[in-house]
Amino acid sequence: MRRLFLAVGATLVVAAALLTWWHLAFAWLLVPLVVLFGVGLRDMLQREHSILRNFPLAGHLRFLFEAISPEIQQYFIERHTDGVPISRNHRALVYQRAKDLDPTHPFGTELDLYDKGYEGLRHSMYPVQALEQEPRVTIGAGRCTQPYEASMLNISAMSYGALSGRAIEALSHGARAGGFYLNTGEGSLTEHHLVGECDVVWQIGTGYFGCRDDQGRFDRDAFVERARRPEVKMIEIKLSQGAKPGHGGVLPAIKNTEEIARVRLVEPHRTVLSPPGHSAFQGPRGLLEFVASLRELSGGKPVGFKLCIGREDEFRALCEAMVETDLLPDFITVDGAEGGTGAAPLEFTDSVGMPMRPALQLVHRTLQEFDLRERLVLIASGKLLTAASLVRALALGADVCNSARAFMLSLGCIQALRCDKNTCPTGVATQDPELVKGLSVADKRLRVERFHRNTVRATLDLIAACGVSDPAQVTTDIFLDAESWADLGNPRPG
């Protein structure tokens, strides 16, 4: 290929040079040929890309097609039930709910209901009337002087930094209008979260952003200053997140702007590392004492922690410590390994942590075993974006659900999969001011509120079809899957 390129390229350039010498009008031919020949020569001499050394010029096509392959995949190849991590049908459902459009589906299901992985719900012969109003879930009753009444669906942790300021502002306004909470993510509490005057859950990660000293250790005074703000309704300690459990975070220097540095209490324009584990406490007792101290420092607000389950024995040890010390969190957020992230190493995303459903079941049953279940609230997250997925989480023990990516979709996210590149085309997950400009807070705040309202309504309708009206009464009896009808046996025995 190299020889062919040299021979053809040199011949064409010489021919074009002779034509130009004969008549200057042929210069238009000579110039691009010389440029292309120069690029090809450079390809052959560079050492970084073997493909370009072996296939000068032609090798660039590979890079071009690779760059546009996600778009080709999504626009031309993807079927309605395809698309990862969130299928086209599910993305469309969120868009419809966010726009208050008719979310009906024509002609029948596109799923193969005889597929082994099929999961449905059992309806009742005696459906009941769905509740008009969603019942609120009280968090921190008995332990807190400022308990919180939560909606069944809320915005899961996403930091300012991972999301743009405008995206957070639209979420804040939407949450205020719909009466649900917005979790700040570990990137600290910012003006963008507060602008809509919604209920805020302040998340504290291992970097203690917004409540740290100059060594990166937990700082009580800085914590009190923010935790006592009236908008902050609850505090969540982040132990781990499903998409990257046990992995610390990196705030690259380029993203560490003056504004981000100010709210996170770090030096600007420097790379900031958050360690994988907490330095403010150690072990189960340490965690529970930290929870109790934050409750007191916050002025009696509910305090809980978020984790992705890894080792069952560690969770049991934590329950034992709760029983021994009688120090309990007000809530536990169980995040599934299928959860989303702005950026994470692929091995962590694909291979670490328990998915939400088994994790939720494990936590629910272990708490029951230790007689703790009724004393705290369980929050679940991990691909909860349809009403059916919410009902399944409630049946497995969740009292409250959080969603991150569904709310991103309601903001206009198109699953371009560029959250880690700062090039999100919809302005949702980028800090590039030119891209952020495209996101209209005035429009997207309405979509956030509508997505929440329509999803809660659909969830209450689905529960009612299963014969109960109160979400707290939903149990795993309503699950219908291939295994459950395998038990029905042979219809014509003998």
Q: Which residues of the shown chain bind ligand FMN in the complex (CB under 6 A)?
A: 156-159, 162, 185-187, 203, 238, 241-242, 306, 335, 339-342, 381-384, 403-406, 419, 429
Of the pair 16, 441, the CB lying nearest ligand FMN is at 441
In order of 2, 23, 218, 457, 473, the CA distances from 132 in angstroms are 73, 83, 44, 8, 16
Q: Smallest distance, Å, CB 393 to ligand FMN?
A: 11
Rg (CA), the chain: 27
Q: Smallest distance, Å, CB 389 to ligand FMN?
A: 9
CA distance 458 to 124: 16
Q: Smallest distance, Å, CB 404 to ligand FMN?
A: 3
Q: How do beta strands 303-307 and 232-238 pair?
A: parallel
Q: Smallest distance, Å, CB 140 to ligand FMN?
A: 20
355 touches 336 (CB < 8 A): yes
Of the pair 186, 449, the CB lying nearest ligand FMN is at 186
Degrees to nearest 5, angle at CA 358 with 356 and 364? 95
Q: Copy the structure tokens of residue 323.
A: 């029983």
Of the pair 157, 378, the CB lying nearest ligand FMN is at 157
Query: Which contiguous run of DSSP H or E holds residue 131?
Result: none
Of the pair 37, 209, the CB lying nearest ligand FMN is at 209
Q: Smallest distance, Å, CB 181 to ligand FMN?
A: 12
Q: Smallest distance, Å, CB 447 to ligand FMN?
A: 16
Of the pair 172, 403, the CB lying nearest ligand FMN is at 403
Of the pair 147, 336, the CB lying nearest ligand FMN is at 336
**Which residues is 332 bridged to in the sheet?**
305, 378
130 touches 463 (CB < 8 A): yes
382 touches 331 (CB < 8 A): no
Of the pair 203, 298, the CB lying nearest ligand FMN is at 203
Q: 317: exposed, middle or buried (C-beta count within 10 Å: 0-12, 13-18, 19+)?
A: middle
In order of 200, 225, 304, 322, 381, the CA distances from 154 in angstroms are 10, 25, 15, 27, 10
The residue count of the chain comes to 494
Q: Smallest distance, Å, CB 241 to ligand FMN?
A: 4
Q: Smallest distance, Å, CB 200 to ligand FMN?
A: 14
Degrees to nearest 5, angle at CA 309 with 152 and 144? 50
| Per-residue DSSP letter, 253 | G
CA distance 343 to 187: 14
Of the pair 37, 226, the CB lying nearest ligand FMN is at 226
Of the pair 55, 208, the CB lying nearest ligand FMN is at 208
Q: Smallest distance, Å, CB 186 to ligand FMN?
A: 4
